[in-house]
């Protein structure tokens, strides 16, 4: 369990820009606090309250943090609203810890500190239902919205329905006294051609190998899913070890934080392995992604029209809307009917492929699927459908088979600089250079966790189970030239 005592801000020992900011405990301007799981009080000032109460932020109450995961883990119905408050709280803790570093304390201004607090609070303001499924389509070449870009438009007030009495950007400019465009850059990571060292530091607080976003979602998702994996690290000691890297442009840890950092990275690995990419969770996610891909391919709505729908509905209503917008028998309707109308008919896996298999033909099958573009993958599904149809003696729906390939944006090595202050020799190392655990996690993530699965409609799965040789049939079709 994390050390909950660390929820209180660390009192800076150095005179800093935070000394005059009520968000860090100065003065008496605090309005109150919001309690979020798990046992965390998030202090709120008037200007923070102004953002939280904005219609664009309140919308996040209707967006689930983990999409269809609640169909597998019933408690996973928490929202982006709750997570955003949690990240804001974690950014406060990160900044308070970094203010113990003299270089950061002397260089960071009030505007810097308020900008990173705003980025933590608003980093997911552009999220919409099933955003990760649509963004998976974006990575596969589809023109679908990225939540970071949507967030920038919302902050600027470019989406009329979410402007409120005044745009969030105006609240940031007048009440927070920060540049909204800078906050957007910190949220998106697009810092420009020559970003300042302080902006690189602030960005690493919000998004890095060990950041405030991950610190919140690992604990929060673990709590709501009812699993222990995301809480098995020493949060208090990790925060107490934060410092700046060799170039003074990013978050690092002093040597006493090595083990907590290893545990943090391992916690993220196990959450992906055992929870986020659990085979049934991946089945539900693959069904949603396939339904959205089929709907998107119909070209009924342009990008702005579809975005307005995404920002209007919650998760359940969006699935119902997708179902009702498509004709009977369409792939979108066929798939969404299994997750709407009080139904839960998730597809079943009939095969799993991994790079860890020792058999050469299985390794070749994995690489063949992993490197397929969309037309090649659809061609393979067509061939499998013909073979399965012959095997079970009936025609199959085009959406009866889904091949789920893992996202290709999760291969980045998770590491952080470890600082040995006062050492007579080398003082700076990358964590993976010092830790076989961290170095091995990356290999295991690619080799073991990133599985390819073949899912089929439940009735088809039951029929195929009565036949031998389905696995060999799959391999034959995959490897066929």
Residue for token pair 């979108």: 332
pLDDT tens digits along 176-218: 999 999 999 999 999 999 999 999 999 999 999 999 999 999 9
Residue 312 in this model has a pLDDT that exceeds 80: yes
pLDDT tens digits along 247-256: 999 999 999 9
Q: Please, what is the average pLDDT of the chain?
A: 91
In whole angstroms, give the CA distance from residue 111 to residue 174.
12
In whole angstroms, give the CA distance from residue 303 to residue 144.
7
In whole angstroms, give the CA distance from residue 297 to residue 302.
11
Domain boundaries, the chain: 4-264, 279-409+448-479
Mean pLDDT of 238-245: 97
- pLDDT value of residue 476: 85
When pLDDT is cut at 50, 70 and 90, the band that residue 481 belongs to is: low
When pLDDT is cut at 50, 70 and 90, the band that residue 308 belongs to is: very high
Decide: residue 48, CB within 10 A, 0-12 exposed, 13-18 middle, 19+ buried. buried
Mean pLDDT of 296-309: 88
pLDDT tens digits along 389-409: 999 999 999 999 999 988 776
| pTM listed for this prediction | 0.93
- pLDDT value of residue 207: 95
Query: Which token pair is 387?
Result: 């073979």
Residue 262 in this model has a pLDDT that exceeds 70: yes
- Whether domain 4-264 has CATH 1.10.3210.10: the reply is yes
The fraction of the chain above a pLDDT of 90, given in percent, is 76
- pLDDT value of residue 26: 67
- pLDDT value of residue 15: 54
In whole angstroms, give the CA distance from residue 461 to residue 177.
59
Rg (CA), the chain: 24
Residue 2 in this model has a pLDDT that exceeds 50: no
User: Residue 252: enclosing H or E segment and its boundaries?
Assistant: strand 251-254
Query: Which token pair is 207?
Result: 């998004």
In whole angstroms, give the CA distance from residue 322 to residue 401.
20
Residue 31 or 68, more confident: 68
């Amino acid at each position: 369990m994390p050390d909950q005592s660390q929820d209180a801000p660390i009192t800076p020992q150095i005179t800093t820009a935070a000394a005059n900011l009520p968000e860090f405990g100065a003065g008496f301007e605090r309005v109150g606090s919001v309690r979020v799981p798990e046992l965390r009080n998030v202090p709120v000032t008037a200007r923070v309250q102004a953002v939280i109460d904005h219609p664009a932020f309140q919308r996040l109450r209707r967006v689930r943090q983990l999409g269809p995961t609640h169909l597998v883990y019933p408690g996973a119905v928490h929202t982006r609203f709750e997570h955003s408050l949690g990240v804001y709280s974690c950014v406060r803790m990160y900044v308070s810890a970094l203010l113990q570093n003299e270089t950061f304390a002397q260089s960071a201004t009030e505007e810097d500190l308020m900008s990173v607090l705003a980025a933590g609070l608003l980093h997911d303001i552009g999220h919409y239902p099933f955003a990760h499924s649509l963004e998976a389509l974006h990575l596969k070449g589809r023109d679908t919205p990225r939540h970071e870009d949507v967030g920038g438009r919302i902050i600027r007030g470019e989406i009329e329905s979410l402007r409120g009495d005044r745009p969030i950007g105006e609240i940031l400019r007048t009440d927070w006294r920060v540049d909204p465009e800078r906050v957007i850059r910190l949220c998106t990571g697009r810092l420009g051609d020559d970003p300042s060292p302080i902006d690189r530091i602030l960005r690493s607080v919000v998004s890095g190998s060990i950041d405030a976003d991950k610190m919140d979602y690992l604990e929060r998702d673990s709590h709501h899913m009812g699993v222990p994996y995301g809480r098995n690290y020493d949060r208090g000691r990790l925060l107490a070890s934060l410092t700046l890297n060799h170039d003074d442009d990013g978050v690092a840890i002093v040597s006493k934080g090595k083990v907590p950092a290893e545990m943090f990275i391992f916690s993220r690995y196990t959450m992906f392995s055992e929870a986020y990419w659990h085979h049934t969770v991946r089945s539900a996610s693959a069904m949603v992604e396939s339904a959205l891909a089929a709907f998107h391919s119909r070209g009924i709505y342009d990008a702005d029209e579809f975005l307005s729908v995404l920002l209007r509905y919650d998760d359940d209503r969006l699935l119902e809307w997708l179902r009702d917008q498509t004709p009977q028998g369409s792939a979108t309707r066929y798939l969404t009917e299994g997750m709407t109308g009080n139904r839960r008919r998730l597809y079943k896996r009939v095969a799993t492929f991994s790079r860890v298999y020792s058999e050469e033909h299985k390794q070749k099958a994995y690489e063949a699927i992993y490197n397929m573009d969309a037309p090649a993958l659809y061609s393979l599904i067509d061939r499998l459908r013909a073979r399965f149809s012959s095997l079970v003696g009936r025609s199959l729906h085009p959406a009866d088979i889904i091949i789920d390939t893992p996202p290709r944006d999760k291969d980045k090595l998770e590491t952080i600089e470890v600082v040995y202050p006062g050492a007579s020799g080398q003082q700076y190392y990358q964590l993976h250079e010092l830790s076989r655990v961290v170095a091995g996690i990356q290999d295991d993530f690619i080799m073991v966790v990133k599985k390819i699965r073949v899912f089929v409609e439940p009735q088809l799965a039951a029929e195929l189970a009565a036949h031998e040789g389905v696995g060999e049939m799959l391999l034959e079709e995959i490897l066929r030239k």
